């Protein structure tokens, strides 16, 4: 029956352990190096990790740097020259990946071109300790990386866990990056929505729109200048007189009389204009009026009307106020004027 490798468990193992007491362990040649077996190029013997202590009596059980056996389990076997080195003497931590097919610094060649030389441009993978020229990598690398570097056989994407050999031809990867090109694009797409999430911007404009809206309706009812054109026209006074009629129900006859004098006679309109400026004008305009005797009542009127007229110069409000208070006084004075007008 086919013999299985003690390290990988697959068939085809042909190298047995040569322990003195006998051992049934079999290994493939690369699996023997990866498992930490002691191998001797001179005697072509192999000792499994369980019997590696028996290598003390062998000539090969010496470190080429310190010339001592030291820790036998820390010895690594060069597959090119057969020399042994302590991992501590080389300042490397030995792992099964590094032990498999390991080459000493003098035998190390580029794994792509299989050539020596150009040690200054030789990259050493931190995972397998194998060398590659910077010009032989795919893609080529300009200069030596400052940090750690892994070859295409050891590099693994930290996001998807794929190797470069398993990536699509369209997917690019950079040995100095921890993720492949596809995962980089995926990260970019996930980070992109973070910028539009800044949605507080539409909120302030909404508030800005709300602030002027209430201000406009507040301003619309406030301005009384709209009433000025209504009050300025003397013809609109009859509309205000019906409002005054309810307070004067007893004098129904004089009410209609009040309407024509206000419309026919321009002096009431002139008196309003006289009330707005200083009191010097009334004596000048009164002699032009047809009724000089009426000076006493109009003097009483401006005294009552002037305080409200100080603020608005041409407001109709002063015109409305005088008819309310002195209707009884004006009627006897204005009635003769109406009598004179028809003939």
Give the Cα-Cα-Cα angle 47, 64, 86 (nearest 5 degrees). Answer: 60
Res 104: pLDDT: 92
Has residue 154 been placed in a domain?
A: no
**Domain assignment of residue 31, yes or no:** yes
Q: Using an 8 Å Cβ cutoff, are 30 and 3 in contact?
A: no
Mean pLDDT of successive 10-residue segments in the chain (343 residues)? 85 89 90 91 88 86 87 90 92 92 92 85 90 87 81 80 60 63 76 54 49 46 51 46 50 46 44 46 47 48 50 51 49 49 51
**What pLDDT does residue 289 have?**
46
Residue 56 forms part of a structural domain: yes
Domain count of the fold of the chain: 1
Whether residue 42 lies inside any domain: the answer is: yes
Q: Is residue 321 part of a domain?
A: no
> Mutual orientation of helices 212-219 and 203-210 as an angle, nearest 10°?
10
Query: How far is 20 from 238, CA to CA, in rounded Å?
Result: 138
- Is 44 inside a domain boundary? yes
In a domain, 330, yes or no: no
The answer to the question of residue 70 being in a domain is yes
**What is the gyration radius of the CA atoms in the chain, in angstroms?**
57
pTM of the prediction? 0.48
Determine the structural domain holding residue 84 and report its residue range: 15-99
DSSP assignment letter at 2: P
């Amino acid at each position: 029956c086919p013999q299985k490798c003690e390290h990988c468990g697959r068939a085809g193992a042909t190298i047995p352990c040569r322990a003195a007491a006998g051992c049934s362990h079999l290994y493939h040649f690369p699996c023997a190096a990866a498992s930490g077996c002691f191998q001797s190029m001179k005697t072509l013997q192999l000792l499994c990790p369980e019997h590696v202590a028996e290598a003390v009596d062998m000539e090969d059980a010496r470190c080429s740097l310190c010339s001592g056996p030291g820790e036998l389990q820390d010895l690594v076997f060069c597959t090119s020259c057969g020399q042994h080195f302590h991992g501590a003497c080389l300042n490397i931590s030995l792992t099964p990946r590094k032990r498999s097919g390991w080459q000493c610094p003098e035998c190390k060649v580029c794994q792509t071109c299989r050539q020596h030389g150009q040690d200054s441009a030789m990259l050493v993978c931190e995972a397998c300790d194998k060398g590659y020229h910077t010009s032989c990598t795919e893609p080529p690398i300009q200069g030596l990386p400052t940090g750690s570097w892994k070859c295409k056989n050891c590099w693994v994407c930290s996001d998807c866990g794929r190797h470069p050999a398993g990536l699509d031809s369209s997917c690019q990867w950079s040995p100095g990056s921890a993720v492949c090109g596809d995962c980089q694009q995926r990260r970019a797409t996930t980070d992109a929505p973070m910028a539009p999430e800044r949605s507080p911007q539409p909120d302030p404009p909404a508030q800005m729109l709300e602030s002027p809206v209430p201000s406009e309706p507040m301003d619309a009812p406030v301005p009384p200048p709209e009433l000025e054109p209504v009050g300025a026209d003397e013809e609109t006074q009859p509309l205000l007189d019906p409002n005054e009629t309810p307070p004067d129900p007893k004098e129904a006859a004089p009410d209609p009389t009040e309407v024509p004098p206000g419309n026919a006679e321009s002096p009431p309109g002139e008196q309003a204009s006289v009330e707005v400026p200083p009191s010097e004008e009334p004596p000048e305009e009164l002699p032009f009026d047809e009724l000089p005797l009426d000076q006493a009542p109009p003097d009483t009127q401006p005294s009552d009307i002037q305080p409200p007229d100080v603020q608005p110069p041409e407001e109709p409000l002063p015109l409305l106020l005088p008819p309310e208070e002195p209707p009884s006084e004006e009627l006897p004075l204005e009635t003769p004027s109406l009598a004179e007008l028809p003939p």
